[in-house]
């Protein structure tokens, strides 16, 4: 089936790219770069919720690429972590990661993964998936060893873990969609692409 228009993923995430490729979707990647920290800070100062922040970041990336490629359908994505009412950003270094994991162990937090589709510079579809994760009461020794083994892989991961890797051992319970944990609400996205005739169904 030939797509009626080009499809662009405005994300540099390897796992998002793999999820779409493995689904048999034809697309190209053009990364939509925005100043995420400035956007987060501005929204937090206005009292925005983590859900609203995830949505706004995804929309910003989709909008930026769509302005340069109005003929395409552009997918923007982002993911944020909410813990005890506050937004958690990527750890700056292994020391900060260790402090964060120490605080989150034995507790529950939420991952919110947003996807927004733009066409002709305008938003056409959006979805924010939420997953609740409960972390094991991990020992000090295990956390130290975990970070030592995995830091190169997880240094850019929100929450300092990847569920598709050893990070799965950090958790006792996960409530929600696996793809959303990985950073893409894949099933709702595929349903929309099918509805629009972008993929066969």
Total Cβ atoms within 10 A of residue 200 = 8
78 is catalytic: yes
Of 35, 41, 55, 78, catalytic: 78
DSSP string, 73-131: EEEEEEEEEEETTEEE---SSHHHHHHHHHHHTTSEEEEEEEEEEEETTEEEEEEEEEE
Question: Cα(89)–Cα(78) distance, rounded to whole angstroms?
Answer: 12
Total Cβ atoms within 10 A of residue 198 = 21
**Residues in CB range of 122: below 8 A, 6 or more apart:** 66
Question: Cα(9)–Cα(116) distance, rounded to whole angstroms?
Answer: 10
**Residue whose C-alpha is closest to residue 132's, from 92, 103, 157, 159:** 159
Q: Which residues are catalytic?
A: 78
């Amino acid at each position: 089936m030939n797509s009626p228009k080009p499809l662009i993923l405005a994300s540099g995430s390897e796992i998002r790219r793999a999820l779409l490729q493995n689904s048999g979707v034809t697309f190209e990647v053009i990364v939509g770069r925005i100043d995420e920290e400035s956007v987060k800070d501005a929204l937090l100062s206005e009292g925005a919720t983590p859900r609203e922040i995830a949505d706004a970041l995804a929309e910003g990336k989709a909008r930026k690429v769509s302005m340069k490629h109005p003929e395409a359908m552009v997918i923007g994505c982002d993911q944020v972590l909410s813990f005890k009412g506050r937004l958690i950003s990527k750890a700056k270094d292994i020391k900060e990661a260790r402090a964060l994991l120490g605080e989150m162990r034995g507790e529950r937090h939420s991952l919110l993964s947003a996807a927004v589709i733009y066409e002709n510079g305008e938003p056409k579809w959006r979805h924010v998936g939420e997953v609740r994760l409960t972390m094991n009461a991990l020992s000090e020794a295990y956390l130290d060893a975990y970070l030592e083994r995995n830091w190169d892989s997880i240094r850019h991961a929100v929450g300092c873990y990847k569920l598709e890797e050893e990070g799965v051992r950090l958790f006792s319970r996960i409530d929600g969609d696996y793809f959303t944990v990985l950073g893409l609400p894949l099933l709702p996205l595929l349903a929309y692409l099918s509805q629009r005739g972008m993929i066969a169904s």
